[in-house]
Amino acid sequence: MGDYKQYFAGPQHEGGNRTIEEEDDVPNISTSLDSVRAYQWEVNFQFSRPGAGGAPTKINGVEKPLTLAAKQINGIGMNVEDIEVNRVNDKVYYPGRPSMEEATITFDNLSKTKADRVLYELFAKTYDPRSGAMNTVGTGDATFKGRLELIQLKNDGTPRNIIHLMGAYPKSITHGEYNYSTNEFHTIEMAFRYDYFINTNNSKGEIETTVG
């Protein structure tokens, strides 16, 4: 093991960063722990189809109403399966096929924008029980898949990073509990399957080939 000379909890003369040398200084531990807030974010829904001249046309105007209604998102992640190799007394592993998690978004059922209707119509692009049609988005639409953008925000409300969930489509929709004795807004959960996600590592959402 290495001989650690630097740590943050102890006094500075012992290699730490707690001691204040000058009057205006603050300990390193007080300034270096500021992190991305879990509550500073927005999610955009880019489900569009070719319009006149090939320009994108939004489907059912889902973008702004759902951005406003979204209150929680999780399930952004990926993993690889194990390839197990057995030789005599040994067992070793290698990385195999990658797979993505499912993103689950919880929405407040906003009355003004009729979030329940918009979500139902969005899910109907995957499967419409009224017609029995699968994987359709209307006449002239190129694909039933879209893109989700999770925007991490700075303290001043401007973007610091954008995560793209590519090839996303609604996989399930679940209404929250209806209960006379509760005192809270009704919610709807929708799960999205996506092909892969890209952490752009910049505020403009520009996709780079490397992260750095």
- Domains of the chain (ranges plus CATH)? 39-199 (2.30.110)
**Which residue carries 């807004």 as its tokens?**
185
* Of 9-18, 68-77, 200-209, minimum mean pLDDT range: 9-18
User: Mind listing the pLDDT tens digit for each residue in 37-89?
Assistant: 899 999 988 876 555 444 555 554 455 678 888 999 999 999 999 999 999 99
Tell me whether strands 70-74 and 102-108 are parallel, antiparallel or unpaired.
Answer: antiparallel
Q: Which residue has the higher pLDDT, 58 or 124?
A: 124
- Does pLDDT of 7 surpass 50? yes
What values do phi and psi take at 95, rounded to 5?
Answer: -70, 135
The predicted pLDDT at position 139 comes to: 47
State pTM to two decimals: 0.77
pLDDT confidence band for 35 (50 / 70 / 90): confident
Distance (Å, whole) CA 118 – CA 59: 10
Closest CA to 80 of 93, 100, 92, 98: 98
The predicted pLDDT at position 124 comes to: 86
CA dihedral 13, 15, 18, 21 (to 10 degrees): 40
Q: Which residue has the higher pLDDT, 141 or 98?
A: 98
